């Protein structure tokens, strides 16, 4: 293995944690818009509706993934939520995600599926408590 490849390979566990943190933070914004109207309002969304449930999963599930607690289980649930969102809200409007505005849902689905397989990485509560 060349020097640069070895250098990057030695940093991959840390980058996994960075990927988890940034993905969760960006994901939480979607839920915050639904539940709190921040950073921009999404309209009148009732807590006991599909959009309200999505907001709760996105904010609180995203927070758990952000800190790396129960990462595998929560990421698996969020992956399923995003698959459901894609096929329910985006796929009926066409095949191509960029045209049906489903590229974020598709990306989050597979990013969370990956995190459910590999865990939270070294900078996670799961790692700190030995899970």
Tens digit of pLDDT for each residue in 28-39?
A: 999 999 999 998
Q: What is the pLDDT of residue 62?
A: 98
Binning pLDDT at 50, 70 and 90, where does residue 131 land?
confident
HEC readout, the chain: CCHHHHHHHHHHHHHHHHHHHHHHHHHHHHHHHHHHCCCCCCCCCCCCCHHHHHHHHHHHHHHHHHHCCCHHHHHHHHHHHHHHHHHHHHHHHCCCHHHHCCHHHHHHHHHHHHHHHHCCCCCCHHHHCCC
Sort 34 into a burial class: Cβ within 10 Å, 0-12 / 13-18 / 19+: buried
**pTM passes above 0.85:** yes
Could you tell me the residue range of the domain that residue 118 belongs to? 3-128
Q: Quick one: average pLDDT of 88-92?
A: 96
- pLDDT higher than 90, residue 59: yes
Q: What is the pLDDT of residue 42?
A: 84
Number of domains in the chain: 1
């Amino acid at each position: 293995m060349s020097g640069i490849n070895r250098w990057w390979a030695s940093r991959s566990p840390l980058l996994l944690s960075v990927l988890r943190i940034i993905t969760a933070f960006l994901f939480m914004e979607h839920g915050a818009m639904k539940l709190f109207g921040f950073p921009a309002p999404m309209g009148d969304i009732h807590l006991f509706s599909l959009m309200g449930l999505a907001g709760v999963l996105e904010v609180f599930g995203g927070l758990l993934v952000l800190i790396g607690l129960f990462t595998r289980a929560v990421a698996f649930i969020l992956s399923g939520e995003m698959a459901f969102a894609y096929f329910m809200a985006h796929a009926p409007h066409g095949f191509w995600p960029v045209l049906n505005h489903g590229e974020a849902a598709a990306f989050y689905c597979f990013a969370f599926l990956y995190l459910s397989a590999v865990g939270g990485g070294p900078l996670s509560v799961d790692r700190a408590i030995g899970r």
